Amino acid sequence: MDRRKFLNLSIVAAVALPVGLSAIDFRATKPDTWTAHTVADSIKALYGDIKPAEGGVTVKAPKVASNGGAIPVTVKSDIAAKSVALFQDANPESAVAVFTVGEGGIVDYMLKIKMKKSGKITAILEGIDGKFYIGSQSLEVALGGCEG
Amino acid sequence: MGNMKIKAKLKGDIVNVKVMAKHDMLTYDQAKKKGLDANFITHVSAKVGDKVVYDVSTSQFLSKNPMFKFKFKGAAKGDKVAITWVDLKGNTVTEEKKIK
């Protein structure tokens, strides 16, 4: 009778951890971003000296906002992104929000923002390819939203 | 203050989430005029189980009772999405909603 030998294979399962989002508090890691008074300074504080390519990311907002206190803004892009940052030039400080995008995350964010006066909303997208993309939209604000 | 409305709906394989947080979002300017301390939501995140599906650091320039919409993949009907926000004063609110 053949003796059968059972090989005890210890299989080292390479556990592929799903690359989830690691929550980053950009307020803690990049404090200067939030106090910068111009969009350019704010972007510099967040991403350093970058030269973003025009396009690839779109900002959607009403052309004329009757109420500056709640302006719906949508940022959209098909580019696989690491992070997306939103700025405007109407308020005393520029930064509005910085999103962390997870693996396979969908860049389609809407949020409502306040603007003191007419201005331009700028979005910067940091791609996983290490490149930066910029998109913007100017709008008129009929009634400023920061007077309160 | 202290609660939020959440809607989460599955469409195809994408979950659409809408959140409205109740918060005054007082900017430094507004607070000064009113003689109050500035306070606004500084961070919002959403999780399904242990997986973070949405994460944003925010400034004072979100609207009062700010609204957020976002989409993500990889969740099923009946899963719970948990939204957490933190404000400048350190208040943290978490609420859960089942995905419809």
The pLDDT value recorded for residue A12 is 34
Question: Mind telling me how many Å the CA of A71 is from chain B's nearest CA?
Answer: 7
Going by pLDDT thresholds of 50, 70 and 90, the confidence category of residue B98 is very high
Report the C-alpha gap between B81 and B75 in whole angstroms.
9
Query: Mean pLDDT over residues B11-37, rounded?
Result: 87
Helices (H), chain A: 26-29, 31-35, 39-47
pLDDT for the residue A26: 85
pLDDT for B9 beyond 70: yes
Is residue A71 a contact partner of residue A118, using CB atoms and an 8 Å limit? Answer: no
First to last CA, chain A: 91
- Extract long-range pairs of B38-42: CB within 8 Å, 24+ residues apart: B38/B88, B39/B87, B39/B88, B39/B89, B40/B87, B40/B88, B41/B66, B41/B85, B41/B86, B41/B87, B42/A27, B42/B86, B42/B87, B42/B88
Low-confidence ranges of chain A (pLDDT < 70): 1-23, 144-148
Determine the residue of chain B that is closest to A105 in CA distance.
Answer: B72
The reported pLDDT for the residue numbered A30 is: 82
- Quick: pLDDT tens for B39-88: 888 899 999 988 889 999 998 888 888 899 999 988 889 999 999 988 88
pLDDT tens across B74-89, in order? 888 999 999 998 888 8
Give the per-residue pLDDT at A2. 53
How much of chain B is helix, strand and coil, in % rounded to 5?
A: 5, 55, 35
Coil, helix or strand for A88? Answer: strand
Residues A70, A93: Cα–Cα separation, whole Å: 17
Identify all chain A residues contacting B23, using CB atoms and an 8 Å cutoff: none
Residues in B closer than 8 angstroms to A72, CB to CB, are: 67
Out of A27, A113, A115, the one facing B57 most closely (by C-beta) is: A27
Looking at residue B36, what is its pLDDT? 84
Write down the ipTM of this complex: 0.88
pLDDT number for residue A23: 67
Side-chain half-sphere of A4: how many Cα atoms within 13 Å?
Answer: 2
CATH topology for A24-145 is: Immunoglobulin-like (2.60.40)
Q: Domain coordinates of chain A in residue numbers?
A: 24-145
CA distance A85 to A7: 55
Model pLDDT, residue A10: 36
**pLDDT tier, B25 (very low <50, low <70, confident <90, very high otherwise):** confident
- Supply the pLDDT for residue A110: 93
Phi, psi of B31 (to 5 degrees): -65, -40
Give all strands (DSSP E) within B2-79, no chain letters: 4-11, 14-21, 41-48, 51-58, 67-73
pLDDT at B37: 84
Q: Which residue among B26, B30, B62 sits closest to A111, beta carbon to beta carbon?
A: B62
Please enumerate in sequence order all residues whose Cβ is within 8 A of that of A8, keeping only pairs 6 or more positions apart, or say none: none
